[in-house]
Amino acid sequence: METTQNVDKIKSGFISIIGWTNVGKSTLLNRLLGEKIAIVSRKPQTTRNRILGVRHTTCAQMVFLDTPGIHRAKSKLNMFMVKEATRTYGEVDIILLMVEANTPLGDRDRFVVETLEKVETPVILVINKIDLSTRDSLLPLMYEFSKLCNFEKIIPVSALSGEGVDELVKEVESLLPFGPRYFPEDMITDLPERFIAAEIIREKIFNLTSQEIPYSVAVVVEDFKEKKDRNVVIIRATIHVEKPSQKGMLIGKKGRMLKEVGKLARIDIESLLGAKVYLELWVKVEKGWSKDIKALRKMGYR
């Protein structure tokens, strides 16, 4: 009887955050949770896996899924990323379609909307980056998008500053069904710590390197050992690249680039774990891994 009463009082469900690459999906997830669990970069196609984050309130539990950017994929890795996003359509209660306020409606957003053509799940249009736009440009954009799809609501936000996010949360909560709490109230993600550590390392590579290197990199944590008596975590990770030249650039002159990646990653991982971290990084050439299905599986892209 007690369980039934709890179910009757709680709104709960799953919400997918979708959109073209680099529109701010991961920034929004981090803002919704008040914690950084999704890596962020100005470069497109940073997110490769679905990232689950849970927002708890007194009367609701909202399970958000940050997804890779939807784009016209050609490589095996990119096709995997797009599939990760679109396969959430039938698994969630609400879809948040994110677009940019400072970008006119174009082919890329139409392409994403087309993927929703046969979807019956309620869709909220979230127009992000309103801090970079004006009201005069925002209203026509809202009108143009409203002609493409029957959105439940159109909500302008700034994931970076938080403006409009409270209104978005209220709208999501109103649309969710009554149900159970799927996760404990002290849990904000189901991702293992070693996965988040690997993602943090990859984020630093994205932010510190250029050209093709960020897109040719996969990070695999080979060893993750906690020494609780000393409050220390020892992490050994391998950074896979596709060419010997990329390995040289990633290591850098006298190892400076790799040391900088390790230093910045260690700071963030220590903040996440609340413990001292010893981080060892190795770089390995795995030719053509992003185009090979077996290699993709080995890197964790299943």
End-to-end CA distance of the chain: 41
pLDDT digits (tens, 9 = 90+) for 100-113: 999 999 999 999 99
pLDDT in tens, 112-132: 999 998 899 999 999 999 998
Specify the pLDDT at position 212: 84
The string over 43-63, giving b where at least 16 C-beta atoms fall within 10 Å of a residue's C-beta and e elsewhere, is eebbbbbbbbbbbeeeebbbb
Tokens coding 32: 């919704």
> Which residue, among 12, 13, 183, has the nearest Cα to 93 in the 3D structure?
13
pLDDT digits (tens, 9 = 90+) for 133-162: 887 889 999 999 999 999 999 999 999 999
Q: How far apart are CA 112 and CA 72, in angstroms?
A: 10
Q: Where are the domains of the chain?
A: 2-175, 193-298
Q: Do domains 2-175 and 193-298 have the same CATH topology?
A: no
**Which CATH number does 193-298 carry?**
3.30.300.20
At the fourth CATH level, the homologous superfamily of domain 2-175 is: P-loop containing nucleotide triphosphate hydrolases (3.40.50.300)
pTM over 0.85? The answer is no
Calculate mean pLDDT across residues 21-49: 85
- Confidence band, pLDDT 50/70/90 cuts, at residue 294: confident
Distances (CA, A) of 276 to 37, 150, 158, 219: 19, 50, 34, 21
User: Which residues are within 8 A (CB) of 54 and not within 5 positions of it... i.e. 6 or more apart?
Assistant: 33, 61, 62, 63, 64, 182, 183, 187, 188, 189
Q: Contact, 50 vs 14, CB < 8 A?
A: no
Single out the residue of 258, 257, 279 nearest to residue 268, CA to CA.
279
